[in-house]
Chains A and B, each alone.
Chain A
Amino acid sequence: MTDPLVEIKDLRIHFFTDEGVVRAVEGIDLNIKPGKTLCVVGESGSGKSVMALSLLQIIHKPGQIVDGQILYHRGRVAGGQFSQNGAVDIASLNRKGRDIRSIRGAEIAMIFQEPMTSLSPMYTVGNQVMETIRLHEKGISKKEARERAIDILRRVRIPKPERLIDEYPFRLSGGMRQRVMIAMALSCTPSLLIADEPTTALDVTTQAQILDLMLELQQEFNMAIMFITHDLGVVAEIADDVAVMYLGNVVEYSDVDTIFNAPEHPYTQALLRSIPKISATRQPLDMIEGMVPSPFRRPGGCPFHPRCTQALASCSTVVPSLTTLHENHIVRCLLHEETGEEVPRG
């Protein structure tokens, strides 16, 4: 097994609102491997986006990382070498400090769902791509930055980048805007790219183009991708590993083949059964009863137990711990606690 690039350990993120505490992330343990694609799937309210934001320390008030570690092994690339810097605990860094600012955007970059709202309408595409480059590479001249920007736009397959660099974002289509976002994210060759639903707002054919592009660039730049999505079709296409989240927990983690062909957690199983299949006829869909509970009323015990068809009596009281079924397959469910062995905390 390769050493992880990022190790998330027992991460807890709570939002202290007037109506009460929302436990958006409630004890996540997760590893991101260098050069690989980790897909994080979950429904709305599962905490997947909040977890992603915490990797960059950009969680807004009243949200707060209350516990846990995010160990980022700086300079660990797919080859497996360590740099002299060693590990940084992102969770403990000051949000506005120099350390996180040198990581944010340069080593860990992020692209967002809606490419129109994440690009400024007031600046040209070139301004925005060059800003990232000039911020992180001191002493680079304006001319050099512009050349770098044109080069990176060409690498995300934008036609005629010399012309497009002086356009404003409103002139671009959704797919082109998302390419610009990707170009900005890649301009400093990050070791981890976090993509939060980057293709959800795009059409299917454009989505296919962007996914292909991201995988090609991953090879070229040798970076890890953490891909957040609710679309299992996308997961099946691009993931190496998959983490399934439900109400602030990772309920199952494994390689993509195991998740789709031998899932063990009842939620993963139900989720896979509930999606319409291209080959199937008009049978009623298997569905998960009920709905994702309100974040203020997080069920006790296993958070999935009110909707789980295989729930035991103890599921409503006992919080299941992480159980390793075999290498690279971890599940958080009481049904498997006797068979597997508990993951040692550390």
Chain B
Amino acid sequence: MADQTPNTEPVDAAEENILLDVKNLKMFFPITEGIFSQVKGYVRAVDDVSFFIRRGETLGLVGESGCGKTTVGRCIARAYEPTGGQVLFHDNGRSVDLAQMDRKALGPYRKDIRVIFQDPYSSLNPRMTVFEIVSEVLKVNKLIPESEFEQRVAEIIQLVGLRPEYIRRYPHAFSGGERQRIVIARALVTEPRLVIADEAVSALDVSVRAQILNLMEDLRQRFDLTYLFISHDLSVIRHICDRVVVMYVGQVIEVAGVNDLFTTPQHPYTEALMSAVPILNPRQRHLQKRIRLEGEVADPSNPPSGCYFHPRCRFAEAKCAVEKPPLRKLANQDRYVACHFAEELDLQGAVMT
């Protein structure tokens, strides 16, 4: 697998208006044993992942826990050092490979790619005031003179819907939704190009979740932001994303526009995911034809042969156990799928409610 050539046809970054191009990204975590930490194997958390993000779009990244979606986000933000592959960042006519850069060279790009984390309770330091939390990144990266911090923080705090008087308070004084607004303010204060939202609304209550989703959409339009929206919640993905990348056991199995993905999935795993979307109307319960996946998600340290999904796939044939399907572009469509039989299968989309 390591020697596989890039399996998507090359795309012209300028023509496609691409901001970030992830190519054959790999992140392996060693499994060690004994007092000398001998490496006895690798968890292939991200295994040859390729996709791109267009400027101004919201790209969803979905998959079940352990599929590597968070790891992809962290590799792009360079919280991890990727084992292999490229993360090409195109901005202002320049292209740089973030995956290979050393820490020092990365410095100027830290402000361009920012992260919103899932849990607003653990991602804010309880000993820092809102002002300190939001201005920390400005200080560390020396982005603006310290005399302007106060004004910048007050501005951004207002933009995310909090009162500027609150900036001297500590996080404990805020509710979950308000904290998530602080996390968003911290991410946006550097005027980033790309924001990675890792399960940004999963920990919030239903009524607050709608507020934060609306806020994020509003800010995207106002600042021309690009989002990588990582989530396992398909109804949220459906609401906020333009295109969606579906991952399974460290690999991309389908990339498609959000409408296409939900109405006409092309990969059997995507179909199973869609059939698990809850139907929001009790009168339509009978419409649900749920596909029960047999067995468990494959172990990323010891994945099956061929297509990783074949042991659970109801359409699997002999070929699937031997030959790994490459992620390929479907003819005349802006979508990619990793299945030998994508064109032949007639798969069901989600029930529309």
Contact = CB atoms under 8 A, between A and B. Distances in A.
B277 A236 contact: no
Given A205-B273, A288-B207, A261 B283 contact: yes
Given A276-B235, A278-B350, A285-B213, A203 B205 contact: no
Interface core residue of A209, A230, A278 (most chain B CB under 10 Å): A278
Interface stretch (A77-85, A144-152, A267-275): A267-275
Nearest to B241: A282
B322 interface: no
Contacts, number: 133
Contacts of B217: 282, 284
A94 interface: no
A66 interface: no
Given A205-B276, A212-B290, A282-B217, A275 B64 contact: no
B95 interface: no
A225 to B, nearest CB: 16
A173 B210 CA distance: 31
Interface stretch (B19-27, B104-112, B136-144, B291-299): B291-299
Given A205-B293, A286-B210, A292 B281 contact: no
A291 interface: yes
Contacts of B4: none
Interface residues of B, number: 47
Interface residues of A, number: 45
Interface in A46-94: none
Contacts of B208: 43, 291
A233 B285 CA distance: 11
A204 B206 contact: no
B268 to A, nearest CB: 12
B179 to A, nearest CB: 11
Contact of A174 (B65, B234, B292, B353): B65
A122 interface: no
B232 interface: yes
A288 B210 contact: yes
B192 interface: no
Interface in A291-328: 291-292, 294, 307
Interface string B206-224: 1111110110011000000
Nearest to A275: B206
A285 B211 CA distance: 8
Contacts of B278: 231, 233-234, 236-237
A48 to B, nearest CB: 12
Contacts of B285: 236-237
Nearest to B288: A237
B327 to A, nearest CB: 21
Nearest to A274: B210
B178 A278 contact: no
Interface string A124-150: 000000000000000000000000000
B206 A43 contact: yes
Interface in B45-66: 64-65
A260 B210 contact: no
Given A233-B235, A277-B235, A279-B352, A204 B205 contact: no
B317 to A, nearest CB: 22
Contacts of B178: 291
A44 B273 CA distance: 27
Nearest to B65: A203
Contacts of A230: 205-206
A287 interface: yes
Nearest to A307: B207
A275 B232 contact: no
B262 interface: yes
Interface core residue of A230, A234, A276 (most chain B CB under 10 Å): A276
B297 A277 contact: no
B286 to A, nearest CB: 11
A280 interface: yes
A284 B288 CA distance: 27
A91 to B, nearest CB: 29
A256 interface: yes
A278 B65 contact: no
A207 interface: yes
A204 B277 contact: yes
A341 interface: no
Given A212-B292, A260-B281, A291-B177, A285 B276 contact: no
A237 B282 CA distance: 6
B211 A287 contact: yes
Contacts of A243: none
B351 interface: yes
A212 B289 CA distance: 12
Contact of A274 (B209, B276, B297, B350): B209
A239 interface: yes
B159 interface: no
B282 A236 contact: yes
A230 B283 CA distance: 20
Contacts of A206: 64
B153 to A, nearest CB: 22
B72 interface: no
B213 A291 contact: no
Contacts of B210: 274-276, 285-288
Interchain residue pairs A-B with the least CB separation, the first 5: A233-B278, A276-B239, A279-B352, A203-B64, A288-B207
Given A275-B235, A287-B211, 15 more contacts: A43-B206, A204-B232, A205-B273, A207-B276, A231-B278, A237-B282, A274-B207, A277-B239, A278-B262, A278-B280, A278-B351, A282-B239, A288-B210, A291-B177, A292-B207
7 contacts: A237-B279, A274-B210, A276-B238, A279-B352, A285-B210, A291-B177, A291-B205
